[in-house]
Amino acid sequence: MTETYDDGNIFARILRGEIPAETVYEDDHTIAIMDVMPQADGHVLVIPKAPARNLLDAPAEALGPLLATAQRLARAVKSAFAADGVTLNQFNEPAAGQSVFHLHIHVIPRFDGVPLKPHSGDMADPETLKANAEKIRAALG
């Protein structure tokens, strides 16, 4: 059974300006924000502005800009944090780990031998998120 898009999800509310977020990048089609429960310093979420529950129901025309922004952010995050690599995660439906039902891509800097922190319910310090966002914005140019 295909689930429907719920425009009350937290990312839809962020896109409408109802909830604040630490924005790193924005264009006509996408926004990138700091994950408030980061698995590593510099963990960013890339979100299309088009409403889509996940990849399975996203309009095809939203995917190109989404992936282009994810690539741009992956390069910036890797540079900003002098990371050894970058993990991009994208989940579809609860069985696959999706917990916010608006399509998004996690961009997470990675370091050799350093495991990811759990994606817990603990929110990061807003000042740390702001400082990490500044590093990424500087790397974006």
Tens of pLDDT, residue by residue over 84-105, are 999 999 999 999 999 999 999 9
Give the pLDDT of residue 120.
79
For the domain that residue 76 is a member of, what is the CATH number? 3.30.428.10
Return phi, psi of residue 55, to 5°: -60, -30
104 as an active site residue: the answer is yes
Q: Which string of DSSP letters, residue by residue, matches 4-44? A: PP-TTSHHHHHHTTSS---EEEE-SSEEEEE-SS-SSTT-E
Q: Is 113 left (phi over 0), alpha (psi -120 to 50) or beta?
A: left
For residue 1, what pLDDT band results from cuts at 50, 70 and 90?
very low
> Residues 58, 50: contact at Cβ < 8 Å?
yes
Give the pLDDT of residue 122.
85
The total of structural domains in the chain comes to 1
Instruction: Look up residue 91 and give its amino acid.
Output: F
* Reported pTM: 0.96
Q: Is 122 left (phi over 0), alpha (psi -120 to 50) or beta?
A: beta
Would 4 be classed as within a structural domain? no
Would 102 be classed as within a structural domain? yes
Asked whether the predicted pLDDT for residue 2 surpasses 70, the reply is no
Catalytic residue among 43, 104, 106, 119: 104
Would 2 be classed as within a structural domain? no
User: Over pLDDT 70: what percentage of the chain?
Assistant: 99
Q: Residue 96: give the domain boundaries.
A: 10-140
Query: Measured in Å, how far apart are the chain's first and last C-alpha atoms?
Result: 44
